[in-house]
Structure 1
Amino acid sequence: MVIRTVHTCISPNIDLSEFQKDIDSVTQILTRHGSFGTFTKRIKNKKNHTCGMCEQKDDPTHVLYECARWDQERRAVEKKIERILPRENEIVDYLKSSQINWLNISEFMTVVMKKKEKGDREIKG
């Protein structure tokens, strides 16, 4: 239900049928309900809300813009879009603005979230 709502709000003019795999990661980031210390601590799945790499508060802002763990992925998407990654207050409008923008940003979010989830599972054991 949430995924369908996010999809409808973000992309009424963009055909996302070929990007289904990315919608889950975008939804997790935009709703802040994903593999983030701030969320997993709140649902009592983790004891603290810090990033395993740098001990900062682990939330979508940290993951997308701050954590050195994702510098390579961040630089790659910024090269593709030929600008710095749109800030939180711009990202939804940027995603909605064109299919290529959706593709580039959602692909970045998916790669980061999949790697993050895998790393979190390995840490948890």
Structure 2
Amino acid sequence: MWLDRAHGEVGYYTTQMLTGRGCFEEYLFRFGRRRSSSCMYCPAVDTAEHTLFHCPYWNERRRAADIQDLNTDAFLRFLLISSDNWKKFEDFARRVLRDKDEEARRRGYLEPSAFFSSVLVLENVYCWLSSIE
């Protein structure tokens, strides 16, 4: 179903949101890029799921994207229903992750985009090395 969808190109921000590899404090904390895994906006642990479904700071953005009150399964069905739903998610992911990026820079954290570039390079090197017999 997911692979056969007729819409929904995955981009920079949607990939971060769908994989949890992005500007999420828990993810960055695992790599020593943050002092805590706590959300910048509330006391919960900041993960992609927390940002997408639970953080009260993003409630208005979720309402605007029609993704409030969804759980993971309902959210995936929502994305597959129409290209309009996908576009709403894309817009939500872009706006939220840009805002989180700006807040991280404002607080003096390592610029996330530079970190992610390093992670992608390392992942590619690892895959290449793993393929060598």
TM over 0.5: yes
| Structure 1 portions without partners, runs of 5+ | 1-8
Q: Which residue number in structure 1 is paired with residue 112 of structure 2?
A: none
Aligned length: 108
Structure 1 residues 10 and 73: alpha-carbon distance in aligned structure 2, compared to 1, 3 A threshold: farther
Q: What TM-score do the two structures reach when normalised by structure 1?
A: 0.74
Q: Which of 30, 51, 60 in structure 2 is aligned with 1:42?
A: 30
Alignment of 1:114 onto 2:102: no
Q: Which residue number in structure 1 is paired with residue 7 of structure 2?
A: 14
Alignment of 1:75 onto 2:36: no
Deviations 1:40-71, CA, capped at 9 Å, x for gaps = 00111111100122121011121122222212
Q: Which of 30, 55, 58 in structure 1 is aligned with 2:43?
A: 55
Mapped partners of 2:69, 2:89: distance in 1:
8
Q: Is the 2:7–2:83 Cα contact (8 Å) retained in structure 1?
A: yes
Sequence identity of aligned pairs in percent?
23
SS at match of 1:25: helix
Structure 1 residues 112 and 102: alpha-carbon distance in aligned structure 2, compared to 1, 3 A threshold: same
Structure 1 residues 48 and 10: alpha-carbon distance in aligned structure 2, compared to 1, 3 A threshold: farther
Higher-Rg member (1/2): 2
Amino acid at match of 1:72: E
Q: Which residue number in structure 2 is paired with residue 66 of structure 1?
A: 54
Q: Is the 1:10–1:96 Cα contact (8 Å) retained in structure 2?
A: no
Higher relative contact order (CA 8 A, sep 6+): 1
